[in-house]
């Protein structure tokens, strides 16, 4: 088309920059504040958009989010409520018998275990491998949906 009209290709693909500048003092801001306060400061931009649509006020979620950020309207649920407490797990002092000497002279002198979880058919299964460090051969394995307790 641009060759027939003898215009530059960039002219054909040119798009105007119609950026909308959001005004904080516009008529949309008051319904956002009312919906936010009615929800006991719980709703975020998605739920406020749904509330406004029920009142026949159509606003984009981005515009709602922009106006909320501009006026420090933060949902209570965005704040961290749960804090992970560190527990004393696996803190037993175990001696380093191998001392990073992984080159062994005899078969079955040192056997190591690797336990890994993999997702199979949407469910987590374990696989445990017994590896001989003499020749890096897998000498045994166990797998399944649940680890045996002993």
Q: Is there a single domain that holds both residue 7 and residue 71? A: yes
Task: Give pLDDT, residue 108.
Answer: 87
pTM above 0.85, yes or no: no
| pLDDT in single tens digits along all 150 residues of the chain | 777 877 777 776 666 555 555 555 567 788 899 999 999 999 999 999 999 999 988 889 998 998 888 888 888 876 666 677 777 777 778 888 888 887 878 888 888 899 999 998 889 999 999 999 888 899 999 999 887 776
Give the C-alpha distances (Å, rounded to integers) separating 90 from 11, 87, 93, 96, 129: 67, 9, 9, 15, 21
* Tally of structural domains, the chain: 2
Does residue 43 lie within any of the structural domains?
yes
Does residue 99 lie within any of the structural domains?
no
Does residue 103 lie within any of the structural domains?
no
Does residue 10 lie within any of the structural domains?
yes
Which of 78, 102, 130 is the last residue in one of the domains? 78
Q: Is there a single domain that holds both residue 6 and residue 74? A: yes
78 in Cβ contact with 47 (< 8 Å): no
| E-only strand ranges, the chain | 111-120, 123-132, 137-144
């Amino acid at each position: 088309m641009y060759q027939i009209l003898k215009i530059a290709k960039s002219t054909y693909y040119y798009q105007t920059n119609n950026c909308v500048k959001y005004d904080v003092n516009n008529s949309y801001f008051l319904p956002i504040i009312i919906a936010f306060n009615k929800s006991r400061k719980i709703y975020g931009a998605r739920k406020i958009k749904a509330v406004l649509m029920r009142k026949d006020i159509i606003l984009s979620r981005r515009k709602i989010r922009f106006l909320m950020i501009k006026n420090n309207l933060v949902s209570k649920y965005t704040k961290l409520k749960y804090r992970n407490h560190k527990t004393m797990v696996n803190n037993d002092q175990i001696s380093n018998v191998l001392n990073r000497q992984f080159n062994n002279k005899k078969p079955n002198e040192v056997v190591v275990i690797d336990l890994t979880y993999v997702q199979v058919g949407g469910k987590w299964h374990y696989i445990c491998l017994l590896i001989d460090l003499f020749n890096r051969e897998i000498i045994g394995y166990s797998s399944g949906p649940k680890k045996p307790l002993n």
